[in-house]
């Protein structure tokens, strides 16, 4: 059962990889927008929370490489699937542009110093397909390919000297937002804190001309606990008195969605989240890990 708490909205899905990547980067810019460069006065320094044991980050790109390429019936897109080509990365990997990394503060000199200490910023951005509905050599069925994007920011938040672009991507208008609660089955170290459900914010948007629509789902993890409100994340980031701190953003979006009917995409998102969220959380420090 998927529960929704209405705020407004309705939507479709574009059909090309460039658009879905742009939608992801829009949401990531929104994350950066809520974090101010100034730091509050604290009684003690807040240290970056280190990544869990077993997590690896590429030192050249700051992409986290430990997220499984398969979970349940979903696997990362491959070249032979025939859904696009890439000369810069494995076909299922989405690579952030240099200006996006700069605005998010990923790969900064501070990150380069923190990388050997296992506490730098990182990101992972991939396309996964549902092997139950995908047939190689044919066009992907609607809702069979999902974009999963996770960004990790430990310790004191610090952006580059240039502010990120406006939250609203050029050519897009937000139609509405809605919180949606999905059932999940997590490992014991997460279940005792999160229970058996998780809430995402659904964002519906369309092109200025109204010919294309998008849907994105996102949530934050703050010191191991779920959060959907950007302002609450900002407040916790600035006001925390914990010795260690981190926040992460989890974003997911279907690549192909061409309908005004929202319930089917919520049901498909619920299925993807059921399989994807547990391995994603294993890449983050749990509440017990944050000192």
Instruction: Say whether 22 sits in a helix, a strand or coil.
Output: helix
Considering only residues 165 and 205, tell me which one the structure prediction assigns the higher pLDDT.
205
Q: What is the mean pLDDT of residues 13-35?
A: 44
Each residue of 275-291: pLDDT tens digit?
Answer: 999 999 999 999 999 87
For every residue of 154-185, DSSP letters joined together read ESS----SSPPPPSS-TTEEEEEEEEEEEE--
Percent of the chain with pLDDT over 90: 49
Instruction: Say whether 114 sits in a helix, a strand or coil.
Output: helix
pLDDT at 19: 42
Q: What is the mean pLDDT of residues 1-18?
A: 46
Q: What is the mean pLDDT of the chain?
A: 78
Above 50 in pLDDT, residue 159?
Answer: no
Question: Residue 173 — φ and ψ, nearest 5°?
Answer: -125, 135
Comparing CA positions, the residue from 105, 102, 93 lying closest to residue 69 is: 93
Each residue of 32-70: pLDDT tens digit?
Answer: 444 433 444 444 567 888 999 999 999 999 999 999 999
Q: What torsion do the CA atoms of 32, 274, 147, 286 make, to the nearest 10 degrees?
A: 30
Each residue of 178-220: pLDDT tens digit?
Answer: 999 999 999 999 999 999 999 999 998 888 776 788 899 999 9
Q: What torsion do the CA atoms of 121, 126, 18, 107 make, to the nearest 10 degrees?
A: 20
Each residue of 228-246: pLDDT tens digit?
Answer: 988 888 888 777 666 788 9
Boundaries of every domain in the chain: 15-171+220-281
What pTM did the predictor assign?
0.80
Comparing CA positions, the residue from 108, 145, 165 lying closest to residue 255 is: 145
The single residue listed with the structure tokens 């380069």 is 112
pLDDT at 184: 96
């Amino acid at each position: 059962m998927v529960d929704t708490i209405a705020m407004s909205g309705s939507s479709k899905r574009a059909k090309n990889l460039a658009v879905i990547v742009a939608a992801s980067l829009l949401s990531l810019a929104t994350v950066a927008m809520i974090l101010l460069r100034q730091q509050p006065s604290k009684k003690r320094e807040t240290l970056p929370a280190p990544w869990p044991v077993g997590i690896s980050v590429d030192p050249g790109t700051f992409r986290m490489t430990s997220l499984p390429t398969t979970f349940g019936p979903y696997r990362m897109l491959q070249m032979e699937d025939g859904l696009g080509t890439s000369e810069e990365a494995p076909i299922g990997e989405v690579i952030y542009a240099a200006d996006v990394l700069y605005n998010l503060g990923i790969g900064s000199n501070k990150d380069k110093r923190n990388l050997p200490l296992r506490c730098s910023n990182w990101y992972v951005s991939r396309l996964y397909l549902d092997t139950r509905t995908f047939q190689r050599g044919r066009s992907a069925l609607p809702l069979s390919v999902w974009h999963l994007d996770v960004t990790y920011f430990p310790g004191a938040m610090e952006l580059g000297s240039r502010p990120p672009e406006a939250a609203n991507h050029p050519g897009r208008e937000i139609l509405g937002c809605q919180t949606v609660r999905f059932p999940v089955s997590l490992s014991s170290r997460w279940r005792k804190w999160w229970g058996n459900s998780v809430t995402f914010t659904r964002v519906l948007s369309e092109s200025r001309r109204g010919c294309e629509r998008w849907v994105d789902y996102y949530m934050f993890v703050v010191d191991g606990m779920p959060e959907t409100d950007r302002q609450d994340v900002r407040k916790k980031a600035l006001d925390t008195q914990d010795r260690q701190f981190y926040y992460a953003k989890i974003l997911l979006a279907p690549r192909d969605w061409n309908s005004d009917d929202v319930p089917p995409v919520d049901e498909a998102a619920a299925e993807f989240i059921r399989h994807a969220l547990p391995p994603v959380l294993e890449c983050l420090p749990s509440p017990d890990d944050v000192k």
